[in-house]
Amino acid sequence: MRLLLVEDDRLLAEGLASQLEKAGFSVDTARTVREATLLGQQEDYRVGILDLGLPDGNGLDVLRKWRTNKASFPVLILTARGDWQDKVSGLKAGADDYLAKPFQTEELIARLNAIVRRSEGRVQSSVKAGRFELDENRQYLKMEDGTEHSLTGTEFRLLRCLMSHPHHVFSKEQLMEQLYNLNENPSDNIIEAYIGRLRKLVGVNTITTRRGQGYLFDDTV
Amino acid sequence: MAAAWLVHGFLLERMSRDFVESRLKDEVAFLEHQIRQSGGEIDALLTENYFHDDFYHSFAIQSPTQSIVFPHTLAALLSPLFQSEQQGAIRVRGASASNAPSDLLAFRKSFLVNNTRLVVIVSEDMAALQASQAEFHAWTAIVSILLILLLVGVIWLGITLSMKPIVSLQASLKKLQDGEISRISVHAPEEFRPLVKQLNQLLDFLDRRLERSRDALANLSHSVKTPIAAVRQILDDTSRPLGDDLRREMGSRLGDIDKQLEAEMRRSRFAGPQVGKSAYPVKQARELLWLLGRLYPEKSFELSTQLVEERRWPIEEQDLSEIIGNLLDNAGKWSSTCVELSLSEANEHMIIVVGDDGPGVEQDTVGELGKRGLRLDEQTPGHGLGLAIVCDIVDRYSGQTNFSHSHLGGLKVDVSFLRPN
């Protein structure tokens, strides 16, 4: 399994590379932003490890370049800071997981295997309806003007359901199936609350209420 | 001031001139009336006592046959005016006749009585008038200057009185700077009390921060230097073989250093309650829910709130992230399918509730959750460091953390803060 390791600390990179090779990965090492960007785009890796603090730039920029160039292998980022904002921006840039330094090699390998497994059979897929595009892998709603909105699990599932069949009326019961077991007996109000929140994102007229029947997604608005 | 003075002088001059002119005109009309009544006989007029007693202006009357000037001293001044063609008011200035005023205002009118042309001139000495006018003008100036001085004095007094608290505040600040006092006294007037309070709070905050960072550094150096010394010792000793036990030992020492460093770094990263810092809870919650949804793709992270996206809470942004992030991360580790985050406000309280559908915590150990020093995750991984961090931050905001059973089945953590006034 080919792995790209981007880490500027020589000692750590060497140690890590030998441990990973032992675990069955074939490791290429890059030390700079330039090197990493090139390798990531030219070679076909199965998984990547990316350190955020590189000598000639930020690791997140490398990740963004990979993602815009359709290099979609799963990436685990290594960070020394580990505050929540850092994690959010790392995953927003396209990472799949993060690990704070220092870490145990066993944990790193377990996480790598997990993201590889998760990415298997994953294809770049998105649902488009009207002005909106729903990124299925990253649970993101992309607007016409390029802004992105993060969605929670249920919001994403409801929107995917509505957007996959525009102009089809979905009853509350059908939509209720998209909910996980939030409550033992979820009430209709919950669907209304979620629809209300989705309307804030996509606009009031985009999701129309059919009285007594349900809701539909109008992609012409 | 000078402009007002000049305008005042000009207006005064014009007013007195207009007044004198209108009087002279009236008197000319009166004389004309008298002359017409007497049928043009000027001599008849002069015999009447009236002119000598009541007519206090000088005047001149000319008929083709004779001319009269009263009083006679003005003859030299007024006679030339008989030849003038001008009707109405005439100013005569700079005449050098002896015993005669140098500035005269005359009113000349010519008319026909029984086909004889008569000219009547009435004049008044303006110099005398101007003298009193100047005196009046001067008095106005003196009174104005006095009034201005009085006004300036009153304003100065007012400013001095109202600035007095500022002066005392300034003195306090100076003393504070010199280290004579450590806090500003609160005997300030109403308007400055919030300022003084704010300043004192800031000073308290700085003191606490200094104390905290000193403690942290002391703790850190104590707990970090020793393991470093131990590891170094082992590495320096070339004769000692690096066996598995020794490696493990060194590893655990480095682990200790990391733990200490992490704990202290976190502690110093928390801002605590600060003026002028706030965060958007809904926005932040959404990002964190999304993040954890990505990290635990098989679990569902849900938000339930009535708050609008633009709502702000007076909690520092990173602190709020740390609270919500750790609660969610902890719940994510334990839940089987679903985690619910709820943000709400009630009775001036800001409330964060996180519930999961995991196995939960036994009733008798719930009370020990989040206590510093006690690491529950030594027995059960999960509810541990994260919750201790949350409790730490919540304490700093004088908030409350409660652990109970969630309706989802697992642990429920309630965090509530009182909104500062």
Query: What does R_g of chain A's alpha carbons equal in angstroms?
Result: 21
Interface membership of A118 toward B (CB under 8 Å): yes
- Shortest Cα–Cα distance, A162 to chain B (Å): 19
Residue whose C-alpha is closest to residue B315's, from B355, B350, B289, B342: B350
Residue B369 contacts residue B376 (beta carbons within 8 Å): yes
pLDDT category at A219 given cuts 50, 70, 90 is confident
CB contact under 8 A, A154 and B318: no
The pLDDT assigned to B342 comes to 92
- Contact map slice: A 16-45 vs B, CB within 8 A: none
Residue B261 contacts residue B220 (beta carbons within 8 Å): yes
pLDDT category at B383 given cuts 50, 70, 90 is very low
Contacts of A83 in chain B (CB under 8 A): 269, 318, 321-322
pLDDT at B44 exceeding the cut of 50: yes
Residue B372 contacts residue B396 (beta carbons within 8 Å): no
Segment B333-356 mean pLDDT: 90
- Shortest Cα–Cα distance, B359 to chain A (Å): 16
CB contact under 8 A, B287 and A88: yes
- Contact map slice: B 353-392 vs A, CB within 8 A: 357
CB contact under 8 A, B321 and A152: no
- The fraction of chain A above a pLDDT of 90, given in percent, is 29
The pLDDT assigned to A81 comes to 76
pLDDT category at B183 given cuts 50, 70, 90 is confident
The pLDDT assigned to B195 comes to 83
The pLDDT assigned to A77 comes to 93
Residue type, B85: E
Among B258, B293, B309, the residue with its CB nearest the CB of A153 is B293
End-to-end CA distance of chain B: 52
CB contact under 8 A, B301 and A118: no
What are the helix (H) ranges across B270-312? 281-295
The C-alpha atoms of residue B95 and residue B20 are separated, in whole angstroms, by: 20
How is residue B332 annotated by DSSP? H
Residue in the block written with tokens 């957007």: A163
Contacts of B269 in chain A (CB under 8 A): 83
The whole-chain average pLDDT of chain B stands at: 82
Among B287, B324, B337, the residue with its CB nearest the CB of A150 is B287
CB contact under 8 A, A181 and B288: no
Residue in the block written with tokens 């006092």: B181
pLDDT digits (tens, 9 = 90+) for B128-150: 788 888 888 899 899 999 999 99
pLDDT digits (tens, 9 = 90+) for A153-207: 888 888 888 888 888 888 888 888 777 655 555 666 788 888 888 888 888 888 8
Length of chain B: 421
For residue B224 the two structure tokens come to: 């970090």
Interface membership of A84 toward B (CB under 8 Å): yes
Angle at B81 between CA B77 and CA B87, to 5 degrees: 140
Query: Nearest chain B Cα to A153, which residue?
Result: B300
pLDDT category at B382 given cuts 50, 70, 90 is very low
The C-alpha atoms of residue B184 and residue B166 are separated, in whole angstroms, by: 12
The pLDDT assigned to A100 comes to 86
Query: Nearest chain A Cα to B257, which residue?
Result: A102
Interface membership of A91 toward B (CB under 8 Å): yes
pLDDT digits (tens, 9 = 90+) for B109-119: 888 887 888 88
Residue whose C-alpha is closest to residue B67's, from B44, B84, B50, B43: B43
CB contact under 8 A, B300 and A88: no
Residue A57 contacts residue A33 (beta carbons within 8 Å): yes
The C-alpha atoms of residue B77 and residue B62 are separated, in whole angstroms, by: 14
pLDDT category at A15 given cuts 50, 70, 90 is very high
- The fraction of chain B above a pLDDT of 70, given in percent, is 89
Segment A73-94 mean pLDDT: 87
pLDDT at B381 exceeding the cut of 70: no
Interface membership of A97 toward B (CB under 8 Å): yes
The C-alpha atoms of residue B72 and residue B56 are separated, in whole angstroms, by: 14
Contacts of residue B54, Cβ cutoff 8 Å, sequence gap at least 6:
none
- Shortest Cα–Cα distance, A69 to chain B (Å): 22
Residue type, B39: G
Residue B288 contacts residue B325 (beta carbons within 8 Å): yes
The pLDDT assigned to B142 comes to 93
CB contact under 8 A, A88 and B338: no
End-to-end CA distance of chain A: 47
The C-alpha atoms of residue A214 and residue A174 are separated, in whole angstroms, by: 9
The pLDDT assigned to B392 comes to 83
**Better pLDDT: B199 or B156:** B156
Residue B310 contacts residue B284 (beta carbons within 8 Å): no
CB contact under 8 A, A152 and B295: no
Query: Nearest chain B Cα to A183, which residue?
Result: B408
Residue B108 contacts residue B87 (beta carbons within 8 Å): yes
Interface membership of B321 toward A (CB under 8 Å): yes
The pLDDT assigned to A35 comes to 92
The C-alpha atoms of residue A59 and residue A79 are separated, in whole angstroms, by: 10
Q: What φ, ψ does residue B331 adopt, rounded to 5°?
A: -65, -35
The C-alpha atoms of residue B324 and residue B354 are separated, in whole angstroms, by: 8
Contacts of A97 in chain B (CB under 8 A): 295
pLDDT category at B254 given cuts 50, 70, 90 is confident
The pLDDT assigned to A34 comes to 92
CB contact under 8 A, B302 and A102: no
Q: Cβ atoms within 10 A of the Cβ of B38, count?
A: 14
B262-300 burial by CB neighbour count: b if 16+ within 10 A, else e? Answer: ebbebbeebbbbeeeeebbbbebbbbbbbbbbbbbeebb
CB contact under 8 A, B288 and A85: no
pLDDT at B312 exceeding the cut of 80: yes
Among B269, B286, B321, the residue with its CB nearest the CB of A152 is B286
Out of B21-25, B173-177, B186-190, least confident range: B186-190
